Chain A
Amino acid sequence: MARKLNLRIWRGNRETGALQNVTVEANEGEVVLDVIHRVQAEQLNDLAVRWNCKAGKCGSCSMEINGKPRLACMTQVASFPEDEEITITPLRAFPVIKDLVTDVSFNYKKAMEIPAFEPPVGMKPGEPRMAQMDVERSQEFRKCIECFLCQDTCHVIRDHEENKESFAGPRFFIRIAELDMHPLDILRNRKKKAQEEHGLGMCNITKCCTEVCPEHIRITDNAIIPMKERVVDEKYDPIRWLGSKIRKREGIL
């Protein structure tokens, strides 16, 4: 059942690096993270890789496998043909720290720029009443495990470092959408801010983010496009903007 696997693993640091060829055994049912761990234990003790839960729930082991942004713990070795060489590289959109580990602090900086959830003034804990249907829209976005694969794949920053300053990226568009659709959130102008301050307009809806999302969140269809549409509506129709806020607050007692 075991098979020999030829890997090309990127090794290096902030300054330099290169692909290193490694041959390692893979057992039936194993994922790429398993073989990386085997390489680490048996051959390259100091190979750097981030991981935590090994069950696709924490979003730590993000890397690029044959050029595709993926979670190593959710990528079956068996999904590659027997004789195929597997190339494993760090996320391209972020600076390398060492080997497969990148500096993802960009994302934490962006998180800090999104205004926090704001509940109605005077609402007491235990009081909220919300319909399941109304919470589900935001719940879809709260499934996000912050693997940042969507950020990595997004052309706006992947190929244009200079855009990082003014572009929050798909992860934070769904965060804004989540708050915007949150039945209890009262902060106004989230969509407008997404457009004006977080670079929503730079997204040209190629849906690459949706394709790589391991949680299958429909980032483009359910967050980005609706926000873009409504930003346009609201720009021209203040009554409609008011209506959307009233509807949003229906769920509150």
Chain B
Amino acid sequence: MTNQIERHKYDILVIGAGGAGLRAAVEAREAGLRVAIICKSLFGKAHTVMAEGGAAASMGNVNDNDNWMVHFRDTMRGGKFLNHYRMAELHAKEAPDRIWELEMWGALFDRTKEGKISQRNFGGHEYPRLAHVGDRTGLELIRTMQQRIVALQQKDKAETGNAESNIKVFAELTITEILKEGGKVSGAYGYWRENGAEVLFEAPAVVLATGGVGKTFKITSNSWEGTGDGHALALKAGANLVDMEFLQFHPTGMVWPPSVRGILVTESVRGEGGVLTNTDGERFMFKYIPDVFKDKYADNEAEADRWYEDQDNNRRPPELLPRDEVARAINSEVKAGRGTEHGGVFLDVSKRIPAEVIKKRLPSMWHQFYELAGVDITKEAMEVGPTCHYVMGGIEVDPDTAAAVGVPGLYAAGECAGGMHGSNRLGGNSLTDLLVFGRRAGMGAAEYVKSAGSNPVSEAAISAAAAKIQAPFTRTGGENPYKLHQELQEITHNLVGIIRTKKELDEAIVKIADIRKRISNVTVTGNREFNPGFHLSFDLDNMLLIAESTAKSAVVREESRGGHTRDDFPAMSPAWRQKNNISSFNGTEVAVKQQPLPVLPKELFDLFDPHELEKYMSPEEMAKGGSN
């Protein structure tokens, strides 16, 4: 049986063809290795296309006060100092080079008057920092890297006669398992979505770049692909997840009509001057400026309005607070009865910006509202509310090499990796995260393969992986995967959402365990040919692990920080700031334990004003002044 399976041998297997995966593949290929790229959908459709606002890099093109240290500080501040400092440091230092490099591959960013790459303001960033292309920056990134890969394939064709000799894209293929031999990665197993035929990849290194987990939740900006595959594959392969309780609810998702519920309204709308109001017409964000941000954000409309013209002498408008603050504020307004009938608030650019400028600066937003909701944003306000957007938690990795802790040969980059963003990600940091750590994962994996060599897959591992794929068809009379997915989404939405309590989280954990029991009985109708029910049965298994890890991490973290708000523990705790929650999986359930957060080294500690650090750190930590 197993000798009939389609087999491929590569040096490196990249799972996921979004920004991080493609960047990793380019790097590994340029290091002279043979690379396979796996995408669940067609090449070039990954969720990266949805990124709108831009890519944060301190190039200093618009304000030359900017540099990596300012960017580093903003990132740590945004993450409420729970970030892995080394990831934030590497990211801030390397982001500009990664953007400039894209330009050499054909990317066309918007320009400043001097002809440099233009940079725009964004929530949490002290200076205009986001390289952008209107509001379709993600599309530009993915297309540029997609075309870079084609360029490399053309080069290979000229040299070897075969375009796919060194880098090949396997589109519409799902990986169900990472294979290991002798404790080290040996490959991966999966199936073609088109016909269900099974495929074996033998590769001593695997880079996970599968993106997010949004589909675990009911209201999300993520597409069907955001089912936490990489997170779950890593857990099952013996790797850890770090801080899965931190989920970013983007403050502005569309709320109406129902068909578009959750779809993102870019933060650039606020960056360009959009204001948030409730049904009383009140510009409510002034009421929600937390103490730690009081010196950076305007407390009155006049100053906030002046900031758009003169950023050196005025504080920023509170609409540009980090995303977690804005999401909670909107949530509070709606709960207090000052929301719209569809459960949102108003976001308006029409009063401040002329119609032609809106269409020019926010073209896809105009398009999106006009065509999907029948709303002309140059004339009227948008209705918006929080939507599950991004998971800060992810695979525990070594910052420099992106190697997954505990599994030799496994690498992770982009949204599926954890640590970089701490408890809350700043807008614009994900696109450069993809580039910086995608490249590092490609490099790390290449170096590993060069020294470790191959690691053949055993027949036993293949048979075991094959049996799991067959399982949903061999059962009869079990439950429909769509129904179980909806139930799971209700549980996460109602009990593991923006505002959490111990009671509800405990209830969620019990309910998730119940679904886990029932999923072993899921039955799929039809055959293996492009069968979405069959696909969902695997995705569902992944999402259940995500939900379990999230709920179990959330119930132990007795504080509120960034993308984790506990109604029963509303304040930040300096003790919890020094801990990461580490999830592991023993084959039946997820266990969560605490691990000390790496301590900020002295040279990075000294980049901050001690008065700011005091708001986050304990007196003992302050006295120590960072590690040596």
The residues of A that contact B310 with a CB separation of less than 8 Å are none
Of B85-93, B139-147, B582-590, the one with at least 4 CB within 8 A of chain A? B139-147
Q: Could you tell me which residues of chain A, from 12 to 71, have a CB within 8 Å of some CB in chain B?
A: 13, 27-31, 34, 40-41, 45-60
In the complex, what's the smallest C-beta–C-beta distance from B331 to chain A, in angstroms? 23
Chain A interfacial residues counted at CB < 8 A: 60
Q: Could you tell me which residues of chain B, from 41 to 65, have a CB within 8 Å of some CB in chain A?
A: 41-45, 47, 49-50, 59
Please report the C-alpha to C-alpha distance between residue A231 and residue B224 in the assembled complex, in whole angstroms: 44
Q: Which of B147, B259, B532 has its CB near the most chain A CB atoms (within 10 A)?
A: B259
Please report the C-alpha to C-alpha distance between residue A31 and residue B373 in the assembled complex, in whole angstroms: 10
Are A182 and B482 within 8 A (Cβ)? no
Q: Would A98 and B49 be within 8 Å (CB), given that A31-B259, A45-B524, A48-B529 are in contact? A: no
Closest to B142 in A: A58
Are A57 and B530 within 8 A (Cβ)? no
Q: Would A45 and B45 be within 8 Å (CB), given that A57-B364, A251-B115 are in contact? A: no
Query: Is B150 part of the contact surface with A, judged by Cβ < 8 Å?
Result: yes
Query: Is A206 part of the contact surface with B, judged by Cβ < 8 Å?
Result: no
Give the residue of A52, A142, A144 whose beta carbon is less than 8 angstroms from that of B108.
Answer: A142
Are A50 and B41 within 8 A (Cβ)? yes
In the complex, what's the smallest C-beta–C-beta distance from B272 to chain A, in angstroms? 16
Q: Would A48 and B532 be within 8 Å (CB), given that A34-B259, A119-B104, A131-B115 are in contact? A: yes
Q: Could you tell me which residues of chain A, from 78 to 134, have a CB within 8 Å of some CB in chain B?
A: 97-99, 101, 104, 108, 111-112, 115-117, 119, 123, 125-126, 128-132
Please report the C-alpha to C-alpha distance between residue A237 and residue B527 in the assembled complex, in whole angstroms: 61
Are B372 and A129 within 8 A (Cβ)? no
Are A46 and B527 within 8 A (Cβ)? yes
Closest to A126 in B: B100
Are B224 and A51 within 8 A (Cβ)? yes
Query: Is A146 part of the contact surface with B, judged by Cβ < 8 Å?
Result: yes
Are A117 and B111 within 8 A (Cβ)? no
Apart from A51-B223, A56-B371, A97-B194: 9 A-B pairs, beta carbons within 8 A: A29-B257, A46-B530, A116-B147, A126-B97, A131-B115, A139-B108, A139-B110, A143-B139, A145-B139
The 0/1 profile, CB within 8 Å of A marked 1, for residues 79-107 of chain B is 00000000000000000110011011110
- 10 A–B contacts from the bound complex (CB under 8 Å): A29-B257, A46-B533, A55-B264, A58-B45, A58-B50, A58-B223, A97-B530, A117-B106, A125-B100, A143-B139
Query: Is B154 part of the contact surface with A, judged by Cβ < 8 Å?
Result: yes
Residues of B participating in the A interface, judged by any CB pair closer than 8 Å: 41-45, 47, 49-50, 59, 96-97, 100-101, 103-106, 108-111, 114-116, 118, 133-134, 136, 139-140, 143, 147, 150-151, 153-154, 157, 163, 194, 223-225, 256-260, 263-264, 364, 367-368, 371-373, 480, 482, 524-527, 529-534
In the complex, what's the smallest C-beta–C-beta distance from B42 to chain A, in angstroms? 7
Q: Which 10 A-B pairs have the closest CB atoms?
A: A29-B257, A46-B526, A129-B115, A117-B106, A116-B151, A125-B100, A48-B530, A45-B533, A98-B530, A126-B100
Give the residue of A29, A52, A117 whose beta carbon is less than 8 angstroms from that of B225.
Answer: A52
Please report the C-alpha to C-alpha distance between residue A137 and residue B544 in the assembled complex, in whole angstroms: 47
Closest to A114 in B: B150
Q: Would A45 and B372 be within 8 Å (CB), given that A54-B223, A55-B260 are in contact? A: no
Give the residue of A31, A125, A146, A182 whose beta carbon is less than 8 angstroms from that of B44.
Answer: A146
Main secondary structure on A side of the interface with B: loop
In the complex, what's the smallest C-beta–C-beta distance from A89 to chain B, in angstroms? 16
Closest to B364 in A: A57
Please report the C-alpha to C-alpha distance between residue A142 and residue B147 in the assembled complex, in whole angstroms: 11
Closest to B486 in A: A41
Please report the C-alpha to C-alpha distance between residue A226 and residue B228 in the assembled complex, in whole angstroms: 46
Please report the C-alpha to C-alpha distance between residue A104 and residue B260 in the assembled complex, in whole angstroms: 27
The 0/1 profile, CB within 8 Å of B marked 1, for residues 136-154 of chain A is 0011001111100000000
Are B115 and A74 within 8 A (Cβ)? no
Q: Which of A52, A112, A128, A145 has its CB near the most chain B CB atoms (within 10 A)?
A: A52
Are B257 and A28 within 8 A (Cβ)? yes
The residues of A that contact B114 with a CB separation of less than 8 Å are 129
Please report the C-alpha to C-alpha distance between residue A221 and residue B178 in the assembled complex, in whole angstroms: 50
The residues of B that contact A135 with a CB separation of less than 8 Å are 108-111
The residues of A that contact B150 with a CB separation of less than 8 Å are 111-112, 116
In the complex, what's the smallest C-beta–C-beta distance from B439 to chain A, in angstroms? 13
In the complex, what's the smallest C-beta–C-beta distance from A180 to chain B, in angstroms? 12
